[in-house]
């Protein structure tokens, strides 16, 4: 009985450790927790930029995301403003926009777009 209980506790500890360590990383850039991958916008940005791109959407405010990305190790702040911000980590650009316009559909969006582009 003790072996079963110990095995169960060990399994649960491993499971929760993996959950905490599973924050997504794109080309060395941590993706903000809770941000959702947007496949259509990623494909559009990649095609327009001619580079690899990954775009995410977050319900968090632009200000909160600016603070988050400006504190990541090695990230340089290029620009911050009322409607957007730009950062750089090695050969990767991180752009934040809110509000933002979906160039493919023409839809105006009030959430925050996180674009990570590898050059």
Q: How many residues does the chain have?
A: 119
Dist. CA 117–CA 107, nearest whole Å: 22
Please state the domain extents for the chain: 24-118
> Do 82 and 96 touch, CB atoms closer than 8 A?
no
Q: Please count the helices (runs of H) and the strands (runs of E) in the chain.
A: 3, 10
| Full-model pTM | 0.80
Q: List the one residue out of 55, 44, 64 whose CA is nearest residue 93.
A: 55
Residue 115 in 3-state DSSP? strand
Model pLDDT for residues 47-95, shown as the tens digit of each residue: 998 999 999 999 999 999 999 999 999 999 999 999 999 999 999 999 9
Q: Residue 70 phi/psi, 5° resolution?
A: -70, -20
């Amino acid at each position: 009985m003790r072996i079963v209980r110990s095995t169960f506790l060990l399994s649960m500890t491993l499971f929760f450790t993996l959950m905490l360590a599973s924050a997504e990383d794109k080309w060395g850039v941590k993706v903000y927790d809770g941000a959702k991958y947007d496949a259509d916008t990623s494909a559009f940005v990649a095609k327009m930029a001619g580079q690899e791109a990954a775009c995410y959407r977050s319900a968090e405010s632009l200000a909160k995301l600016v603070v988050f990305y400006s504190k990541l190790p090695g990230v340089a702040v290029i620009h911050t403003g009322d409607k957007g911000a730009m950062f750089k980590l090695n050969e990767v650009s991180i752009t934040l926009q809110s509000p933002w316009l979906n160039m493919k559909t023409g839809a105006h969006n009030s959430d925050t777009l996180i674009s990570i582009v590898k050059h």
